[in-house]
Amino acid sequence: MSENHSETHPVCSAVVGLQWGDEGKGKVVDLLAATHDVVARYNGGANAGHSVVVQGQRFSLHLIPSGILYPSKLAVIGNGVVLDPDKLGQELDGLRARGVDTSGLIVSDRAHVVMPYHKAEDAAREDSLKSAREEAQAGSVSEIGTTRRGIGPAYAEKVQRAGAVRVGDLLRPESLKEKIGVAVATRRTSGLKLDPATLDEAKLLEWAIGAGELIRPMVQDTAYLLNNLVRAGKRILFESANGTLLDVDHGTYPFVTGSSCAIAGIGTGTGVPVQRVGRVVGVMKAYSTRVGAGPLPTELAGPGEAGAIGDRIRNRGREFGTTTGRPRRVGWLDLVAVRYSVMVNGITSIALTMLDVLAGMETVRVCTGYRVGGKVTDRFLPDAVSLGRAEPVYENLPGFADEIGAARIRRELPDRARAYVEFIESRVGVPVEIVSVGPDREQTITS
C-alpha cells in the first residue's frame, strides 16, 4: 500500500458551470483559490469571460485562469484549451499594466493554437449558416451564434490532425512551416470564402514564430507538472470555461461549444485523473441565461409581461456578454436542466450566484418539469430538437422585496430569499455551500 496521502485521498477541487455559461464561475474560483496552490484551466479558449472584482477593481479574463490574481499561485493553461496567442498577449499586457505579477502562468506544450484562419473560418461558417437560414426561412438551419473566436475550427483541426498546430510546434520552425502549409492547402480547396490575407503562408509563419517567442518562457509538459504537484500534496483547483449545457457531448447539441466543459474534461484537458478531484462545486445563477442560438425553455422574451420581466433581470444582472457584449437571453430558473448538470458532473455542492438580482419581484417562477407531447417529465433533453419542443412546467414561489446585497450569513437573508435557496437544495439534492449576493468578494454567504 502506498504511504503517499495524495495517492489515496483526492486533494483537488473543480468549479464547473451548471447552465449555459456566465454563471459567475470567476468569482467562485477567486474565492476557492485562496485555499489551493494551483488554478488550472482545462477547456475552451478566449470564448470564455470570467469577471472578478478584487478590492473594487474589475478584471475580465478570457484565457488566463483567474488564479493569476493571487501572486503566490500557479495558473496553468492545460492541453485541453485552445490558445489564441494574440489574446494571451493582450491579456498579459493588461494585467501587467495594472501591476499584476504574471510570472506564475504556465502553458501546456500540447494546447492547440487558434490560428488566424480559424477565426476567419468561424466567421465565414456563421455567415453562411445565417444566409442559409434566411433563405430557407424554415428554422431548421441556424447559425450557432458563436463568439467568432475560432474555437470550433481549432478543435475541429485538432481532431483532423494533419494541419493542427500545438504550442510545442510554435517553438519548432521547421515543422511549423510544414503544418501551416497543410492547413492552408486544405483551406484553399474547402470552398469557404476566407480573406486571402489569412492564408498568406509567409505571414502566418512569421506570426507563429512571434507567438512562440511570447509563449516560450511559459511552456511546460503540464501533465507531468500537475501530477507531480498532486503527488507532493499540493491542491489544484480546476477551472471550467463555458457551461455544462454547452458541453460538446452533454450540452444542447448542436448549439454548444467545441470542448468538454463538464468535469470529464479535466482528465483529457490536463492529464490529471478525475478521481483526484474530491470536491466538485457547481455554479448556477438564480435564473437562466444563454448567449447565442439554441433552446432556452424558460426564456422571458417578447413584447408582453414576460419580456418586461426578462428586461428587468437583464438590466439588474448586467447580462451583457463579457466576451462579445451581446445582450444575454434571460429566463426563469430551470431546475430540470440544473439537476441534469449536477448528475453528469457528480456535483458535491452548489454556489448560487446573482440571488440579489431577483429582489423586488412579487413572484418568482421555477421550472421543475417539462411537458413533452402531453406528458410531464423531469428528464432534461440534451438535444436541441427535443428540447425545443419542451414546454416548462412551473412552480410559483413568493418573491422577496428587500435588497439582500448586505447579507453575510444565511440567517440575514429575508425568509423568502432563504426559502428560495432551500427550495433549490431540496429539489436538486445537493447543499448550497456559497450564495453570492453581489459582485464583490465580500458579498458572499458561506455559512
Q: Residues interacting with ligand IMP, by CB under 6 A? A: 20-22, 47-49, 144-147, 149, 151-152, 241-242, 246, 255, 257-258, 291-292
Give the residue nearest to ligand IMP (CB): 292
Least distance in Å: CB of 79 to ligand IMP?
Answer: 18
22 is catalytic: yes
Amino acid at site 124: A
Q: Which is nearer to ligand IMP, 291 or 404 (CB)?
A: 291
- CA angle (258, 263, 266) in 5-degree steps: 80
Which one of the listed residues 50, 112, 118, 250 is annotated catalytic? 50
Q: Which is nearer to ligand IMP, 79 or 244 (CB)?
A: 244
Least distance in Å: CB of 326 to ligand IMP?
Answer: 7
Least distance in Å: CB of 151 to ligand IMP?
Answer: 4
Q: Taken in order 156, 284, 401, 429, is the CA torsion positive or negative?
A: positive
Q: Which is nearer to ligand IMP, 291 or 413 (CB)?
A: 291
Assigned C-alpha cell, 424? 433549490
Which one of the listed residues 22, 30, 247, 356 is annotated catalytic? 22
Strands 50-54 and 288-290 turn out to be unpaired
Backbone phi, psi, residue 352, to 5°: -100, 125
Burial 215-242 (b: 16+ CB within 10 A, else e): beebbeebbebbbebbeeebbbbbbbbb
Q: Which is nearer to ligand IMP, 287 or 400 (CB)?
A: 287
Bin 431: left if φ > 0, else alpha if -120 < ψ < 50, else beta.
beta
Of the candidates 99, 109, 97, 94, the residue with the CA atom closest to the CA atom of residue 64: 94
CA 235/CA 102 separation, integer angstroms: 20
Strands 363-372 and 391-398 turn out to be antiparallel
Q: Which residues have a Cβ under 8 Å from the Cβ of 165 and sit 6 or more positions away?
A: 112, 113, 115, 176, 179, 180, 183, 208
Least distance in Å: CB of 146 to ligand IMP?
Answer: 4
CA 32/CA 35 separation, integer angstroms: 6
Q: Which residue has the cell 413568493?
A: 398
Q: Which is nearer to ligand IMP, 109 or 157 (CB)?
A: 157
Of the candidates 14, 51, 13, 36, the residue with the CA atom closest to the CA atom of residue 441: 51
Q: Which is nearer to ligand IMP, 99 or 139 (CB)?
A: 139
118 is catalytic: no
Collapse the DSSP code of 265 into the 3-class scheme (helix H, G, I; strand E, B; otherwise coil) and give the result: helix
Least distance in Å: CB of 100 to ligand IMP?
Answer: 22
Assigned C-alpha cell, 8? 489515496
Least distance in Å: CB of 145 to ligand IMP?
Answer: 4
Least distance in Å: CB of 331 to ligand IMP?
Answer: 14
Q: Is the peptide bond before 85 cis (omega within 30 degrees of 0)?
A: no
Least distance in Å: CB of 206 to ligand IMP?
Answer: 27
Q: Which is nearer to ligand IMP, 22 or 299 (CB)?
A: 22
Question: Using an 8 Å Cβ cutoff, are 91 and 64 in contact?
Answer: yes
Q: Which is nearer to ligand IMP, 82 or 219 (CB)?
A: 82
Question: Using an 8 Å Cβ cutoff, are 230 and 238 in contact?
Answer: no
Assigned C-alpha cell, 265? 474534461
Task: Cite the active site residues.
Answer: 22, 50
